[in-house]
Chain A
Amino acid sequence: MAFSSPHITATAVEATSFMDLSRKYHVTGVPKTIVNDSIEILGALPEEQFVETALQPGN
């Protein structure tokens, strides 16, 4: 997604090495995705569902 949009940055975070970030975003299971510090997606979703959730309007 980041590669295809100049407005998107994507970071893969190794959760156990950055416990402060894991706590901040309440990472209790993986994979967990955070978009703009506001949208949370737990688990792996099908592409269409993931994109619709991650890019919902207003964020």
Chain B
Amino acid sequence: MGLLSDSDTQVLKQHLSVIDTPVSLLLFTQTFGGSEGGPIAKQVLDEVASLNDHISVVEKNFVLDTDDRAKYAVEREPAIVVLRNGEDTRMRFLGAPTGYEFVPLIESILLAGTGKVELEPSTVKMLDAVTTPTEIKVFSTPT
């Protein structure tokens, strides 16, 4: 049984239909001794990817794929890295993207897949002025 209801699936498919650029979701999980969230994250991503041909899920082994872990600075699992046309968007998710993390996941996929930024001009101006590495973490909960 899927995590998404039939009605959610239809609405989501409609939302994702504007995507015109390939989006890859790199999913880092640990097969043995991994967290409970790994299989859930995979199911969520697989269901979302099934709704649009431009979205794909690329599974990475948290233990073995050390080069990719280093490349994307992945220190925990499950972790999701969002790529646009193979390029890092610097948008990440730690933990299964359910509950309150599901909408941000969809928004990040839409952003990666369309390139359409919906920020205020003043925000864009401030972002252009950022010249040093800046790490933002946003904590949320499933419910």
Which A residues have a C-beta under 8 Å from some C-beta of B? 1-18, 21-22, 25, 27, 30-37, 47-48, 51-52, 54-55, 59
- Other-chain contact of A8, B130, B138, B142 (Cβ < 8 Å): B130
Please state if B133 and A7 are interface contacts (CB–CB under 8 Å).
Answer: yes
Which B residues, 111 to 137, have Cβ-Cβ distances below 8 Å to chain A?
111-112, 117, 119-120, 122-124, 126-137
Q: Is B141 an interface residue (CB 8 A)?
A: yes
Q: Closest CB-CB distance, A43 to chain B, in whole Å?
A: 11
Please state if B140 and A9 are interface contacts (CB–CB under 8 Å).
Answer: no
Asked, given contacts A3-B117, A5-B127, whether A14 binds B140 with beta carbons under 8 Å apart, the answer is yes
Which B residues have a C-beta under 8 Å from some C-beta of A? 35-37, 73, 76, 89-97, 100-101, 104-105, 108, 111-112, 117, 119-120, 122-124, 126-142
Please state if A18 and B130 are interface contacts (CB–CB under 8 Å).
Answer: no
Most buried by A among B76, B97, B134: B134
Number of A-B contacts (CB under 8 A): 145
Please state if B140 and A12 are interface contacts (CB–CB under 8 Å).
Answer: yes
With CB as the reference atom, state the residue of chain B lying closest to A2: B90
Most buried by B among A5, A8, A9, A11: A11
- Other-chain contact of A17, B95, B122, B136 (Cβ < 8 Å): B95
**Closest 5 A-B residue pairs measured CB to CB?**
A14-B95, A2-B90, A11-B92, A17-B95, A15-B139
With CB as the reference atom, state the residue of chain B lying closest to A54: B136
List 16 additional A-B contacts (Cβ < 8 Å) besides A2-B89, A5-B130, A35-B136.
Answer: A8-B130, A8-B134, A10-B136, A11-B92, A12-B92, A13-B138, A15-B139, A18-B76, A21-B76, A22-B139, A30-B140, A31-B140, A32-B138, A36-B135, A47-B119, A52-B126
Q: Closest CB-CB distance, B39 to chain A, in whole Å?
A: 13
